[in-house]
Amino acid sequence: MFGKTYSAKPADIEKRWVLIDAKGLVVGRLASLIALRLRGKHKATFTPHMDDGDNIVVVNADKVVFTGRKRDQKVYHHHTGYPGGVKERSAKFILEGRFPERILEKAVQRMLPRGPLGRQQLGNLRVYKGAEHPHAAQNPTPLDVAALNRKNSRSA
């Protein structure tokens, strides 16, 4: 009458390596796709309490784009821990700074669940600002995000 709910065991989990070239891709759309794959929701074997997502390598993270005027107007806040210590930086300031890959890392981090499992899944994401990455030995399969939806890419 009723089927059993499938629950993945650690032995059943098969992790793949995926390579994404972020050049010209829209930040939020790319981040939501990465978060979905890190959690493993694209698989039929998805289990909420297990880390069955893929390992994702993102290159050219410094070449991501924002839509509209977000590059100049979007503001990121952080707190120093001292009273009145709220600091803010524009997206343009971060993208032109030393660690432009943090824009994408933070976008993905904020789309994952908070807690030990979310932190473990975030550890499966590797973001590099240039075209080089040290994961050639894992033989990651390229994923063309721009071809999935025409809104995913935008010429800067």
Distance CA 99, CA 85 (A): 22
The residues, any chain, with a CB within 8 Å of residue 60's CB and separated by 6 or more, are 21, 22, 23, 128, 129, 130, 131
pLDDT given for residue 108 in this prediction:
98
pLDDT in tens, 39-71: 999 999 999 999 999 999 999 999 999 999 999
Q: What is the pLDDT of residue 56?
A: 98
Domains of the chain, earliest start first = 17-147 (3.90.1180.10)
Q: 88 near 76, Cβ under 8 Å?
A: yes
What pTM was computed for the model?
A: 0.94
pLDDT at position 156 is 56
pLDDT digits (tens, 9 = 90+) for 109-142: 999 999 999 999 999 999 999 999 999 999 999 9
pLDDT at 1: 63
